[in-house]
Amino acid sequence: MYILQKQNGNIRVTDIANKMNCSKPSVNKAIYNLKDNGLLNYESYGTIELTKEGENLAKKILETYDIVYLFLKEVLNLTENDASIEAEKIKSVMTDNTINNLAKYVHKELGMNDLNCDYDINQERCRECARRKNGK
């Protein structure tokens, strides 16, 4: 949803269903679960807006995917396709501590920066710092 919001400016149930290749009722169920957890605002048949908490969580998930993908592709030499598939699976089961340590390792191994700044995946400033130093 975060990516759709950045691409289109607004998000609708149909957009998500098309992107995720699933039914609108499935999307609605997920939306109401996310709404109940304070991650988005939504009124029936309206647009969907991520809350600040929802946006922060989305950024964290994307950053985790990027870290895992880089490790699999650049360090373990998996193909782009395999690294993408595996990163998608792995990103949601790693603890924050593991992600933080993997990020430091990947950035050091690839010579991108040293991340000896107490990098923490939960801190927006750290994610932005890492991107800025890496030229992303």
- Do 32 and 13 contact (CB within 8 A), yes or no? no
Which residues pair with residue 49 across a beta bridge? 41
What is the domain partition of the chain in residue ranges?
Answer: 2-50, 56-134
Residue with tokens 């919001």: 5
Per-residue pLDDT of the chain (136 residues; tens, 9 = 90+): 888 888 888 888 998 999 889 999 999 999 999 999 999 999 888 889 999 999 989 988 888 998 899 899 988 999 999 999 999 999 889 998 998 888 888 877 877 665 556 666 666 655 556 554 554 4
Given CATH 1.10.10.10, say whether it is the number of domain 2-50.
Answer: yes
Integer Cα distance of 50 and 6 in angstroms? 11
